[in-house]
Amino acid sequence: MKALVYHGDHHIALEEKPKPQILKPTDAIVRVLKTTICGTDLGIYKGKNPEVADGRILGHEGVGIVEEVGESVTQFQKGDKVLISCVTSCGSCDYCKKQLYAHCRDGGWILGYMIDGVQAEYVRTPHADNSLYRIPQTIDDEVAVLLSDVLPTGHEIGVQYGNVRPGDAIAIVGAGPVGMSVLLTAQFYSPSIIIMIDMDENRLELARELGATHTINSSTENAVEAVFKIVSEGVDVAIEAVGIPATWDICQQIVKPGAHIANVGVHGVKVDFEIQKLWIKNLTITTGLVNTNTTPMLMKVASSNKLPLKKMITHRFALNEIEQAYQVFLNGAKEKAMKIILSNQA
Ligand SMILES: [Zn+2]
Ligand SMILES: [Zn+2]
């Protein structure tokens, strides 16, 4: 089968690999229909995760058709259309019992990281009963791909951990796919002011279309000053959705007393934490990896077509054009790329 394989810092290639086999009775083999490239995949490509083995198939988001199941799999059978969650969970370890599926003792984020992933014609999914979700007929396959990672990540780690409440003023720093997912799912809780901060005018325009009440272009104006012009005391919730020191700095400067800072971004280097200014502010600061415990709820919302999710999809390629798709996503601003869908036509 064809698969996108990682070979160390800045080396990836579409290659012929053996089709995956059932290794444990709880596994399923899924024929991939649609997959995508995540910012995290770009991080691996750029050498941010040297722990990823040479020869690893990348990708952790996608939908497909169950091809084969191990003998202990009871919830799925050959032919079922399924969402492949970015997080694998056994459902029975101590972390799974606390719904911290991201930290499952035999799972968590492993697809396209510690085990072969979804940017391939077929993928082996461990703990299939807990890690796959049946897809209702009413959900478009492309929209379903957003449920693997970006929507639950934005909702759980941005909106829920940030404790967004009705009437709040919130700021989202970073208008990428996860920032946009924060923007969409924050609106479940009716904040009164939603400020989106980014350096890319196209992304800010899309943010306004998707519900941002204010946008700030941090390449042309001082983002912190601009936030205080909108909300004189600062925001109730600041959500960091980039993962670099500069965006963390904005978050810690724009919050009012009692606020939440929810960090969603994947950081590669340390940040300055201005505890000497923040100790007095009664802040709650949260971090985390998506647990996917709200995936079933988000599936229902997506199937009702209440969210303009399709607007997040900007590019489409065949799976065998994935190297080109990586180049487009790497030049996201220039290419006006948000979410790229790859279709397996094999
Ligand atoms: Zn992802
Ligand atoms: Zn577990």
Residue 116: give its domain's CATH number.
3.90.180.10
CA distance 52 to 303: 35
Distance 67 CA to ligand 2 centre (A): 24
pLDDT over 90 at 345, yes or no: no
Partner residues linked to 284 by β-bridges: 260
Supply the CATH number for residue 183's domain.
Answer: 3.40.50.720
Mean pLDDT of 260-266: 96
Share of the chain above pLDDT 70, in %: 100
Ligand showing the shortest atom-to-Cα distance for residue 84: 1
Q: How confident is the model at residue 306 (pLDDT cuts 50, 70, 90)?
A: confident
Distance 156 CA to ligand 1 centre (A): 14
Distance 244 CA to ligand 2 centre (A): 30
Q: What's the Cα-to-Cα distance from 51 to each of 14, 38, 64, 84, 101, rounded to whole Å?
A: 21, 18, 28, 23, 21
Mean pLDDT of 120-140: 96
**Domain boundary residue among 271, 286, 301?**
286
Whether residues 263 and 313 share a domain: the answer is no
Task: Tell if the pTM clears 0.75, that is, is over it.
Answer: yes
Ligand showing the shortest atom-to-Cα distance for residue 126: 2
Distance 282 CA to ligand 1 centre (A): 32
Whether residues 306 and 182 share a domain: the answer is no
CA distance 124 to 29: 5
Distance 297 CA to ligand 2 centre (A): 20
Ligand showing the shortest atom-to-Cα distance for residue 154: 1
Question: Which residue range forms the structural domain that includes residue 176?
Answer: 153-286
Distance 86 CA to ligand 2 centre (A): 14
Tokens 């900007």: give the residue.
Answer: 314
**Domain boundary residue among 269, 286, 303?**
286
Q: What's the pLDDT score for residue 161? A: 98
Whether residues 18 and 113 share a domain: the answer is yes
Whether residues 185 and 227 share a domain: the answer is yes
Domain tally, the chain: 2
Distance 62 CA to ligand 1 centre (A): 10
Tokens of 132: 């796959």
Q: What's the Cα-to-Cα distance from 203 to each of 208, 229, 275, rounded to whole Å?
A: 9, 22, 32
Q: What's the pLDDT score for residue 48? A: 85
Distance 40 CA to ligand 1 centre (A): 6
Phi, psi (degrees; rounded to nearest 5) at 251 = -60, -45
Q: What's the Cα-to-Cα distance from 7 to each of 1, 3, 45, 46, 51, rounded to whole Å?
A: 18, 13, 9, 11, 12
Distance 88 CA to ligand 2 centre (A): 8
Whether residues 122 and 183 share a domain: the answer is no
Report pLDDT digits (tens) over 193-227: 999 999 999 999 999 999 999 999 999 999 999 99
Report pLDDT digits (tens) over 6-63: 999 999 999 999 999 999 999 999 999 999 999 999 999 998 889 999 999 999 999 9
**Domain boundary residue among 286, 310, 334?**
286
Q: What's the pLDDT score for residue 265? A: 94
Distance 109 CA to ligand 1 centre (A): 10
Whether residues 92 and 143 share a domain: the answer is yes
Whether residues 143 and 174 share a domain: the answer is no
Ligand showing the shortest atom-to-Cα distance for residue 89: 2
Distance 74 CA to ligand 2 centre (A): 17
Whether residues 10 and 144 share a domain: the answer is yes
Whether residues 187 and 245 share a domain: the answer is yes
Whether residues 215 and 329 share a domain: the answer is no
Distance 98 CA to ligand 1 centre (A): 23
Mean pLDDT computed over every residue of the chain: 96
Ligand showing the shortest atom-to-Cα distance for residue 339: 1
Ligand showing the shortest atom-to-Cα distance for residue 42: 1
Whether residues 260 and 214 share a domain: the answer is yes
Distance 160 CA to ligand 1 centre (A): 18
Ligand showing the shortest atom-to-Cα distance for residue 152: 1
Whether residues 196 and 208 share a domain: the answer is yes
Amino acid 214 reads H
What angle do helix axes 245-254 and 223-230 make, rounded to 10 degrees?
Answer: 30
Report pLDDT digits (tens) over 153-166: 999 999 999 999 99
Tokens of 82: 């399924």
